[in-house]
Amino acid sequence: MASTTSPLDSPPAPPAPPGRPRSTGRVGDKIFIGLSRGSGILLLVIMASIAVFLSYRAVLAISKDEGNFLTTLDWNPAGDPPVFGIAVLLFGTVVSSVIAMVIAVPVAVGIALFISHYAPRKLAAPLGYVIDLLAAVPSIVYGIWGALVLVPYLEGLNLWLDQFFGWTYVFEKTEVGIARSLFTVGILLAIMILPIVTSVSREVFLQVPKTNEEAALALGATRWEVVRLSVLPFGRSGIISASMLGLGRALGETMAVATVLSPSFLISLHVLNPGGGTFAQNIAAKFGEADEFGRDALIASGLVLFVLTLLVNGAARLIIARRKEYSGATA
């Protein structure tokens, strides 16, 4: 917002002090420009080579696929003829991630708000550490915990959901069996992405300009109204970014899902039923035993996950860009 400062506020830059060789800064500048430009180019090269590698191997596999790669409900690249498709994996990945987001984002925003605006300082700092600590737990540990603790404990919840919300179809449990389901995976993923969503949101909430909050306070806003009028609107794009980071992790999570889920190649909206699969889980489960062609097939599924993640991030950027005029970055 250039117009908030009068021309008087920015006097012309003073001339360089005499006697000081002007080139001293330039060597550093050149090195720095080279470094930063190099890093930028390196990133593009890495991304491009991953995309090329994935595409090349994927094309090798898909061209020999006798089933429809997108719709086949089977994964048998070793068969004769080879038949495999990603429908189940795409479905399972999206459903488990959506469940994770629905649970994790509101909780994370709540925790972040509590830490940044409600908790007394003595409590806020330790709480922040604990949340960050959740992120330090290796995903295989989450997987084991999920399989040994979460799965048995969720059976009661599953029965309850089935009994009272079975009419929604989604929560109808038609198969007996322990809770190694997409729903359980979703809950586990929610816990796993909680720290990243929380800490990014918290950072954004702490950056809300004091003047914005005072504007609301001075109008006679209560604490919740300050949050609603100043903090949440300012933090909106930050919450979206935080969620996308979390979603990225949920989409790609491997070990925890592989440990908890009992995989099957069926698509069912009954999320409480055991079965289903995700891209990363499927790759982890099958990569070791697959032959060269089987690996190409798995890489083809990895390419789809790659594209899915790109799409999700692109969509998030679109949402943020559309709100840019109102983002508060100009205030």
Partner 1 sequence: MAKRIDVGGLTAYYGSHKAIEDISMTVEPRSVTAFIGPSGCGKSTFLRTLNRMHEVTPGGRVEGKVLLDDEDLYGAGVDPVTVRRTVGMVFQRPNPFPTMSIFDNVAAGLRLNGSYRKSRLAEIVEKSLRGANLWNEVKDRLNKPGSGLSGGQQQRLCIARAIAVEPDVLLMDEPCSALDPISTLAIEDLIGELKERFTIVIVTHNMQQAARVSDRTAFFNLAAVGKPGRLIEIDETERIFSNPSVQATEDYISGRFG
Contact footprint for partner 1 (CB under 8 A) = 1, 3-8, 121, 209, 211-212, 214-222, 225, 229-230, 233-234, 236, 323, 325-331
The rounded radius of gyration (Å) of the Cα atoms in the chain is: 25
Residue 211 Cβ vs partner 1, minimum distance, rounded to whole Å? 4
Residue 205 Cβ vs partner 1, minimum distance, rounded to whole Å? 14
CB 261, CB 185: distance < 8 Å: yes
CB 305, CB 93: distance < 8 Å: yes
Instruction: Return the half-sphere exposure (C-beta side, CA atoms, 13 A cut-off) of residue 277.
Output: 22
Residue 82 Cβ vs partner 1, minimum distance, rounded to whole Å? 53
Which residues are paired to 274 by β-bridges?
181
Nearer CB in complex with partner 1: 115/188: 115
Residue 108 Cβ vs partner 1, minimum distance, rounded to whole Å? 21
Nearer CB in complex with partner 1: 153/326: 326
Nearer CB in complex with partner 1: 127/221: 221
Residue 228 Cβ vs partner 1, minimum distance, rounded to whole Å? 10
Nearer CB in complex with partner 1: 20/121: 121
Instruction: Return the half-sphere exposure (C-beta side, CA atoms, 13 A cut-off) of residue 331.
Output: 16
Nearer CB in complex with partner 1: 82/233: 233
Task: Quickly tell me which residue has 């592989």 as its tokens.
Answer: 258
Nearer CB in complex with partner 1: 17/220: 220
Q: How far apart are CA 120 and CA 117, in angstroms?
A: 8
Residue 110 Cβ vs partner 1, minimum distance, rounded to whole Å? 20
Nearer CB in complex with partner 1: 120/288: 120
Nearer CB in complex with partner 1: 82/328: 328
Residue 219 Cβ vs partner 1, minimum distance, rounded to whole Å? 4
Nearer CB in complex with partner 1: 233/248: 233
Residue 5 Cβ vs partner 1, minimum distance, rounded to whole Å? 7
